[in-house]
Amino acid sequence: MLIDENHYLDGAEQVQSPNYNERPSEEEISLLVIHNISLPPGRYGGGYIEQFFQNQLPVAVDPFFEEIKELQVSSHLLIERTGRIVQFVPFSKRAWHAGISEYQGRDGCNDFSLGIELEGTDDEPYTDIQYKQLAEVTRAIQERYPAITLDRIVGHCDIAPIRKTDPGPSFDWQKYRSLVFGI
């Protein structure tokens, strides 16, 4: 996998989200944040995550959708349980994935991070193909953005611990690191 000159991942399906803006000028991309999402909670498929990141969620489909209909969020990438990769925001832009967040004394992690959503929940194992795809994407990201080192790959829970728990205890950090770094 490669990231092109326009900051798009080759091989990812491109689905534009309106929920992004410019990063602060001269801000180096230096953090990778791993999230999870399922819509409705605990259910997979249906295209609802894409619709949510495009502000087009069909609220009549599920009562939970009514609760989140006003949220405007996005991530750079989504890796579905099937391994399909969708890119919503070019890596050079600030996706709205981290919310109120802090890493190593710096607030506003969206300014300097990339966000990858895994289709899943905190307590259900992720699929092997998701780990494979995430590892390949991580290597491509590190090649393009070398400030993202092993110690600068975190879960949403690490940058917003009071609010967030993802990617959750079901995420196998050792398996992921082994696939990416061979450790």
Q: What is the pLDDT of residues 4-42, one digit of tens each?
A: 999 999 999 999 999 999 999 888 999 999 999 999 999
Helix then strand then coil, in percent of the chain rounded to 5, is 30, 20, 55
User: Cα separation of 63 and 82, whole Å?
Assistant: 26
Active site residues: 117
The 3-state DSSP class for residue 134 equals: helix
Radius of gyration of the chain from its Cα atoms, rounded to whole angstroms: 15
- Predicted confidence at residue 105, as pLDDT, reads 96
Q: Which domains does the chain have, with CATH numbers?
A: 13-181 (3.40.80.10)
Q: For 73-116, what is each residue's pLDDT tens digit?
A: 999 999 999 999 999 999 999 999 999 999 999 999 999 999 99
Tell how far CA 176 is from the center of its chain. 15
The pTM assigned to this predicted structure is 0.97
Which residue's structure tokens are 């991530």? 75
- Predicted confidence at residue 33, as pLDDT, reads 98
Residue 183 reports pLDDT greater than 90: no
Q: For 157-182, what is each residue's pLDDT tens digit?
A: 999 999 999 999 999 999 999 999 98
- 107 burial level (CB within 10 Å; 0-12, 13-18, 19+): exposed
- Helix 173-181 / helix 128-144 crossing angle, nearest 10 deg: 50
CB 155 within 8 A of CB 115: no
- Predicted confidence at residue 163, as pLDDT, reads 95
